[in-house]
């Protein structure tokens, strides 16, 4: 097991890609803190992690509220005494033409996707990782943060901010033996993507000819948080089927 006895916090992990990430980390030996707006011991992700022989703590918290974030980290530290790995996965993906985006929608997208990543990382780093002189941070960015497409101005701006935050975290936190990297997925088989029609046109532009699998994103995260990848810092790892390369 690559992550035996590590403790990982994954935001937005009750379902979807966050759940897949959490389960993959558990398969590799990590114990998990599962966060979402609402999550409890009866949720499938908690039961599936425990079935793998790993510990799982459910913590409901709004990542855009600093007091919620502090309470979440306090609960995690009380249970596990440490947080080795942080995956900032929580995010929302509304699609509207630029001229139709309301101020309220703009604020919500920026709050969840960008402010939430900042707050959780700041609190986890200050309360846990810097004290342990160890940490692995992976932020979920997006190909849209590098090359925006139509209808997602607010989402693309937030993910571009996540890319910048990732690099700032790397510079600011490397003195504490903390690595900060990001995975930038392209079009993947997520519930959010598949419930719309935009992917049907996008897939024509993907050289690999298909959508990415959620497990492929999770595998990339495992690669970045293992100790063997410790000299990788500030990297934005593209996982997009060659739709964009830099």
Name the residues annotated as catalytic: 155
DSSP assignment string, 97-161: -GGG--HHHHHHHHIIIIIHHHHHHHHHIIIIIHHHT-EEEEEE--GGGTS--TT-HHHHHHHHH
3-state secondary structure of 181: strand
**Given strand 31-36, what is the order of strands in its sheet?**
56-60, 31-36, 7-10, 85-88, 135-140, 178-185, 236-239
3-state secondary structure of 187: coil
3-state secondary structure of 7: strand
Which of 43, 11, 8 is CA-nearest to residue 24? 8
CA dist., res. 196 & res. 183, Å (int) = 23
3-state helix, strand, coil in the chain (%, to 5): 50, 15, 35
User: Would you state the torsion angle of the CA atoms of residues 32, 36, 39, 43, taken in this order, to the nearest 10 degrees?
Assistant: -60
Which of 194, 210, 195 is CA-nearest to residue 243? 210
């Amino acid at each position: 097991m690559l992550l035996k006895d590590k403790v990982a916090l994954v935001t937005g992990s009750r379902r979807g890609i966050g759940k897949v990430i959490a389960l993959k980390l558990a398969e590799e030996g990590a114990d998990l803190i599962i966060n979402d707006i609402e999550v409890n011991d009866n949720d499938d992700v908690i039961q599936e992690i425990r079935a793998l022989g790993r510990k799982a703590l459910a913590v409901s918290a709004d990542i855009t509220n600093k007091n919620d974030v502090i309470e979440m980290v306090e609960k995690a530290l009380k249970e596990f005494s440490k947080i080795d790995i942080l995956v900032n996965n929580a995010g929302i993906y509304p699609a509207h033409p630029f001229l139709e985006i309301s101020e309220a929608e703009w604020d919500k997208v920026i709050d969840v996707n960008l402010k939430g990543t900042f707050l959780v990382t700041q609190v986890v780093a200050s309360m846990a990782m810097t004290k342990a002189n160890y940490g692995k941070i992976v932020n979920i960015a997006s190909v849209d943060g590098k090359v925006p497409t139509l209808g997602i101005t607010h989402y693309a701006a937030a993910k571009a901010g996540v890319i910048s935050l990732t690099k700032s975290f790397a510079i600011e936190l490397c003195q504490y033996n903390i690595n900060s990297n990001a995975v930038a997925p392209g079009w993947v088989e997520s519930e959010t993507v598949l419930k719309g029609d935009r992917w049907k046109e996008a897939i024509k532009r993907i050289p690999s000819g298909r959508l990415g699998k959620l497990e492929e994103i999770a595998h990339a995260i495992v690669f970045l948080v293992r100790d063997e990848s410790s000299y990788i810092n500030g990297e934005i790892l593209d996982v997009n089927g060659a739709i964009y390369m830099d």
